[in-house]
Structure 1
Amino acid sequence: MSRLPPLLKGLENPIFARLYLAQTINLVGDSLTWLGLALLAFELAGQQSGTILAGALTLRVMAFVVLSPLAGAIADRVDRKRLMILTHLARMFLVCLLPFVTQVWQIYAIVLALNAFYAFFTPTYTATIPLVTGEENYPHAIALSSATYQFLGVLGPGLAGSIAAFVGTRQVFFLDGLTFLAATILLFTLPGQLMVRQSQQSARTVHQTIQDIRTGTTCLWSDPVLRSALVMQFVAAIAGAEILVNTVGYIQGSLQLGKLEYSWTMAAFGIGATLASIGLGNATQNIRKNQLIYVGTILLTVALLPANFVNLQGLLILWLIAGAGETLVNVPTQTLIADRIAVEVQGRVYGAHFAWSHLWWAFAYPIAGWMGSHAPNYSFFYSGFIGLGLAIVLFFMFKPWRHRDSNSGIWHDHDHVHNEQHQHNHFPNLTEGSHRHLHFHTMQQEH
């Protein structure tokens, strides 16, 4: 009998353990990439380095929004192990080009390419967790991955900064490349193929690929539980962007404190998110996930309301709560996708979700920037008020208490034939013959 806590039970699966370790190394490499980029931007542009980083982040979001649905469609049709290996090798090559950069446009080009491959890797990795861990352990495995992501978000910049100070700004990218190589070797040792079985493996056409991309978004927006979770992530993005964009101004401007206090505050946000991920990983799986998402949204938005009126100690507590709220929105949403989507469709849905969730941030960042410039003394309060009001409206609009969110049904994709015994309306030219059909299958289970 296993003595591991529930959060770590997925590591008993050797395939997931190697996959998880590869992702952890990948996250360390990501910290090295972005800290190295910040130092390189300052080396090239001095005080204008912030503009360069803002442009790089914009390109990052654009790559995720545009390419993630395509990545999800491909992940359902090919060997995911091979796809993840190729994305790591490509990113290793690209980061090793950064030490030779001499122009700002070269940074933009490499960042765009890097995040294009990142857009292919992340949905593929997330969709592979339920594939390799099985129904019993995937909620714990997703929570563990989230906790690791948040934990390294707190420690990663400091670790990367220490390494950069020791090896130098440009040399840090070569070490970054080694992290991608190490992760690639781990992925290469995974046995066999990581490929989902499809009802039909026909030759891929542009029309079929477009249909696959559409399938992911259709599942998200047609399912009332997933749709509710997705719109609540928009509320969470508004609050989260406000914290990421305007905390530094409040700490160094309104409170007249320094960079150290700012780092403490953002660490509190990351610690709150990490603790919530650990709590979810060790919790029973009988929790209503869609209702938990609303609880997280309320925590996140309510934490913003008094933030403009507190000192550093108060802000540390509020950001700890806000970080926990952010996790309570995001982790149950990922688990719900695994609950309600058949394995052969999960890559497409995770890809679509990755795109939509980052599209929310593309809207949220300008809102936070506008708040910070037009109402710097009340930006947290106004953003919290807007987010809380929107959350309440959406709560009564989607009525989450009516939905039995876990294992009450599952979306799947199958070949479909119209004949004399089976006829119903479709889009034009799809009323005869065989085609693929997205369908929600209801399961009768006791709760």
Structure 2
Amino acid sequence: MNLLKWKFPALYLSAVGIANIGGWIYLLALNLIIFDRTGSALAVAGLYMIKPFANMLVGFWAGSVIDRVSTKHLMITLDGLRAVLVVLIPFLDSIWFIYTLVLLIQMAGAMFEPASFTYMTLLLPEQDRNRFNALLSFVHSGAFVTGPLVAGILFMIGSLENALFVNVGIFMISATLTLLLPKLSNRDTTESTSITWRDVRTDWKLVWDFSKKAMPFVVMYMGFQGVMLLTAALDSMEVAFAKEVLHLSDATYGSLVSMAGIGFLMGAVCTNALVKFASANLLMSMGTLLVSIGYVIYSFSTTYLMASTGFFVLSFFLSLANTGFMTFIQKKVPIDMMGRISSLYEMASSFIQILTVLFLGFAAQMLSVKEVVIGGSLLMFAVACYLALLIGRYSNLSTKIIGSVKR
């Protein structure tokens, strides 16, 4: 590997890895804070409804900003904003005030993710993207192991609120590393986020025209997102499932998530070997199918051992699925429209996710957490099977259609 060539990609991976460690600390601490204060699975599920709702609030205009400004400077600004908002959470007593801050944090995150993805695509030549995506999965897996482990230690030596303060520092470190990256753009940027309603409407039409010409791609994109939104919906039941069904302590719950991180780490290692000869479509289809099988194992678990096995399986193949999906998007989506397409598609996915999480939350109140998790995992398996069939049917056709879109 040419070290000079990979200097900036390595710096980007470092920033992402540190930010993801902080993300796990934030997620676990916030889940436990809400559950401890309310004792309600529905209240925790509410946290998982906030993210898709935030995506809907910013999705219709965020892409227009991302594709017109310096993504590097936008990422730094959003990291700083999230740090300021997170530091306020421990000082709030009202659950509704906390929800409001979380909404603002998630709105910033809803802009950060497509901005980061666009920057990453600009940073790398096409021939290096599949390899880099595999390395990115490896970094995510390291955070998957390290984040819950650090969170568990912080929970044992201090309070949940103190863990959030650590997360603030992590956000600032990530922003500092991003500052060292080069400024990249696929167009002349104005460094202004002043976007008119006319610009937004024009961007919607461009995305609509792209989607009509690339319908097989849209179908596969939404199929994959269907599996992922079900994972998010089931994640909203995770704390309640661990405490009410498996009867785990906070520290043991953290170790369960760490077990999933080990699976993610080993899956990332395998992904780095598989990308040399496996197509993005194969990684995406087989990965999602086996992720759903892991969730089925987890949903039927009655012991820590069985639950950790399910977590390991789903996490192992999640790395394959995500790597294939990222490369799939980078090959099919025009880079100068990546922010707008990603944001608007994510907005549509988020609307469905809100309905799904809301349904599962109320179902858990009416039935039981275990029954809801089992039903959701079986539905995920069915969607994953359908996605595998779609990819086998449309993969060649989608390449032809999307290749005909004027970029």
Give the match for residue 434 of structure 1.
none
Match for residue 112 of structure 1 among 103, 121, 124: 103
Structure 1 stretch 120-129 or stretch 240-249: which is displaced more? 240-249
Pick aligned residue for 2:333 from 336, 341, 362: 341
Q: 1:64 aligns with which of 51, 55, 58?
A: 55
The equivalences for 1:364-403 within 5 A come to: 364-369=356-361, 372=364, 373-374=366-367, 379=372, 381-393=374-386, 396=389, 398=390, 400-403=392-395
In the superposition, relative to structure 1, how do residues 400 and 174 fare at CA in structure 2: closer, same or farther (>3 Å)?
A: same
- Which position in structure 2 is the counterpart of 1:21? 14
Distance 2:140 2:108 in 1: 18
Residue 185 of structure 1: CA displacement? Answer: 1.9
Q: Which of the pair has more CA radius of gyration?
A: 1
1:214 is displaced (CA, Å) by 4.9
| Aligned partner of residue 287 in structure 1, secondary structure | coil
Pairing 1:206–2:171 present: no
Aligned match of 1:440: 405
- Alpha-carbon distance in 1 for matches of 2:367, 2:338: 42
How far apart, in 2, do the equivalents of 1:35 and 1:176 lie?
Answer: 11
The offset of 1:288, in angstroms, is 3.2
Q: Is the 8 A contact 1:20 1:145 kept in 2?
A: yes
| Number of the residue aligned with 1:233 | 224
The residue number in structure 1 matching 2:125 is: 134
| Residue number in structure 2 paired with 1:271 | 262
Rounded to whole Å, the distance in 2 between the matches of 1:48 and 1:311 is 22
2:312 equivalent to 1:320: yes
Q: Distance in 2 between matches of 1:155 and 1:351?
A: 29
| Percent identity (aligned) | 20
CA–CA separation in structure 2 for the residues paired with 1:154 and 1:357: 28
1:189 maps to 2:180: yes
Q: Distance in 2 between matches of 1:41 and 1:375?
A: 20
Relative CO higher for 1 or 2, CA cutoff 8 Å, sep ≥ 6? 2
The aligned residue for residue 321 of structure 2 is 329
2:49 partner amino acid: T
Q: 1:31 to 1:237 in 2, by over 3 A?
A: closer
* Paired position in structure 2 for 1:416: none
Give distance in 2, aligned partners of 1:265 and 1:169: 18
Secondary structure (helix, strand or coil) at the match of 2:20 reads: helix
Provide TM-score, normalisation by structure 1: 0.75
The residue correspondences of 1:165-180 to structure 2 (distance < 5 A) are: 165-166=156-157, 168-180=159-171
Q: 1:106-131 CA deviation, whole Å, 9 max, x = no partner?
A: 31222121111111111100111110
Partner of 1:93: 84
Any stretches of 5+ residues in structure 1 without a counterpart?
3-8, 412-438, 443-447
Deviation of 1:22 after TM superposition, in Å, equals 1.9
TM-score (norm 2): 0.81
Q: What is the CA distance between 1:376 and its match in structure 2?
A: 5.7
More off after superposition, 290-299 vs 387-396: 387-396
**Is 1:147 aligned to residue 138 of structure 2?**
yes
1:60/1:305 CA distance change after superposition, 3 Å: closer
Q: 1:81 aligns with which of 72, 85, 101?
A: 72
**Count of equivalent residues:** 404
Q: Which amino acid aligns with 2:9?
A: F
Compute the displacement of 1:62 (Å): 0.8
Code of the residue aligned with 2:8 in structure 1: it is: I
Determine which structure has the larger strand proportion and give its number.
Answer: 1
Residues 293, 381 of structure 2: 8 Å contact kept: yes
CA 269–33 in structure 1, closer or farther in 2 if over 3 Å, else same: closer
1:230 maps to amino acid: Y
Asked if 1 retains the 8 angstrom alpha-carbon contact of 2:290 and 2:314, the reply is yes
The SS at the match of 1:190 is coil
Q: Deviations over 1:324-343 (max 9, x none)?
A: 34344333222111111222
Letter in 1 for 2:170: T
1:157/1:359 CA distance change after superposition, 3 Å? farther
Structure 1: distance between partners of 2:63 and 2:257: 32
AA in 2 matched with 1:317: T
Give the Cα–Cα distance (whole angstroms) in 1 for the partners of residues 281 and 380 of structure 2.
Answer: 18
- Give the conservation status (yes or no) of the 8 Å contact 2:13–2:136: yes
